[in-house]
């Protein structure tokens, strides 16, 4: 394999952690040289951080139109990356399934007339061709897709399925600033304003402990108990789609195939049956703790620890034990 291009992401002036996840995915593809593409209006700090990961090259595309990677219509990002891929001619291009990847990767693939695979949860090579694994039939099964000879092969990787690659410590690569022109008349949509939703507590996407509730809780009131438990564990509260659709909690807390993908150290699932669509969103958890009164619930097949019982008895006892440990 000639080379792999990872489309990194920047938050403010720092390297977004999802870039480390993409580098972990790229490292599964053998010894091919890995380059990182970064886009923004100022990339000095992020470029240095990317070099710390031991990549062969950081391709820093700086342009005023690429502030926040061109968020809004992402026209500038599409133009820049299409030109960059033509210049670099990598065999594989990896995006994360973020707003940037979801909106930009298919448009770049269309302009290059090459294939793209969405929502990939694993990847490998076979005979020099990229093979990706992605959910099918609403997440009820996984299927492998083999890319043909057209290059590059573009894959969009689901966040949190790979552990972020830590910095290598030794820099062996270089930062290159490719001369890519972005004509203003090619940008059809621009970002006018960003309104940030006020958040309290630990973010669900980055929490090391997530306490999640499902249909089995029976209503909105029990989620206050889960919030108390999450607070004691310095964690965040999540929910299944059924709980969100019922209006018990906001859809911003939904975990699953059509919700958020998370990768906490501990995932506590209360009253969640464990449907494949939900499990797709928490597959990155290191340990799943299931509390469900149905011993045949699918969640127990995935859980490292399980309690068969009524959550109204189990969760209060669990809370009491956590409080006691906190006082010890």
**Same structural domain, 171 and 224:** no
Residue 161: predicted pLDDT? 85
Asked whether residue 194 is assigned to any structural domain, the reply reads no
Return the percentage of the chain with pLDDT > 90, whole number. Answer: 55
Instruction: Supply the CATH number for residue 115's domain.
Output: 3.40.50.620
What's the mean pLDDT in 111-129? 92
**Same structural domain, 182 and 274:** no
Q: Categorize the per-residue pLDDT at 147 as very low, low, confident or very high, splitting at 50, 70 and 90.
A: very high
What's the mean pLDDT in 136-165? 87
pLDDT of 322 over the 70 cut: yes
**Same structural domain, 158 and 238:** no
Asked whether residue 247 is assigned to any structural domain, the reply reads yes
Residue 79: predicted pLDDT? 93
pLDDT of 92 over the 80 cut: yes
pLDDT digits (tens, 9 = 90+) for 204-260: 888 999 999 999 999 999 999 999 999 999 999 999 999 999 999 999 999 988 888
Residue 1: predicted pLDDT? 56
Instruction: Supply the CATH number for residue 320's domain.
Output: 3.40.50.1220
pLDDT of 328 over the 80 cut: no
Higher pLDDT, 220 or 43: 220
Asked whether residue 12 is assigned to any structural domain, the reply reads yes
Asked whether residue 147 is assigned to any structural domain, the reply reads yes
Asked whether residue 193 is assigned to any structural domain, the reply reads no
**Same structural domain, 284 and 166:** no
Domain holding 234, by residue range, is: 209-327
Residue 326: predicted pLDDT? 73
Residue 71: predicted pLDDT? 76
Residue 304: predicted pLDDT? 93
Asked whether residue 204 is assigned to any structural domain, the reply reads no
Average pLDDT, the chain: 89
**Two structure tokens written together for 166:** 């830590």
Asked whether residue 60 is assigned to any structural domain, the reply reads yes
């Amino acid at each position: 394999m000639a080379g792999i291009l990872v489309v990194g992401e920047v938050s403010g002036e720092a390297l977004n952690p999802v870039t480390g996840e993409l580098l972990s995915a790229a490292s599964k593809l053998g010894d091919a040289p890995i380059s990182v593409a970064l886009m923004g209006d100022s990339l000095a700090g992020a470029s240095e951080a990317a070099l710390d990961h031991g990549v062969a090259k950081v391709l820093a595309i700086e342009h005023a139109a690429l502030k926040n990677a061109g968020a809004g219509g992402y026209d500038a990002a599409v133009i820049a990356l299409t030109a960059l891929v033509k210049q670099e001619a990598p065999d594989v291009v990896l995006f994360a399934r973020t707003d940037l990847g979801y909106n930009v990767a298919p448009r770049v693939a269309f302009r290059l007339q090459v294939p793209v695979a969405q929502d990939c949860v694993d990847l490998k090579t076979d005979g020099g061709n990229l093979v990706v694994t992605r959910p099918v039939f609403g997440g009820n099964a996984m299927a492998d897709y083999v890319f043909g000879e057209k290059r590059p092969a573009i894959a969009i990787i689901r966040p949190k399925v790979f552990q972020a690659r830590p910095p290598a410590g030794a820099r062996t690569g270089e930062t290159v600033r490719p001369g890519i022109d972005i004509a203003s008349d090619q940008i059809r949509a621009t970002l006018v304003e960003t309104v940030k939703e006020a958040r309290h507590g630990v973010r669900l996407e980055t929490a090391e402990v997530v306490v999640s509730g499902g249909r089995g809780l029976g209503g909105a009131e029990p989620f206050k108990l889960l919030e108390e438990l999450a607070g004691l564990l310095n964690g965040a509260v999540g929910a299944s789609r059924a709980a969100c659709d019922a209006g018990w909690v906001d859809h911003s807390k939904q975990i699953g195939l059509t919700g958020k993908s998370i990768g906490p150290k501990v995932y506590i699932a209360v009253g969640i049956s464990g449907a494949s669509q939900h499990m797709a969103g928490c597959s990155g958890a290191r340990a799943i703790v299931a509390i469900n009164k149905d011993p045949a619930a699918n969640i127990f097949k995935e859980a490292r620890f399980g309690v068969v019982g009524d959550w109204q008895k189990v969760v209060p006892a669990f809370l009491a034990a956590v409080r006691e440990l906190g006082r010890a």
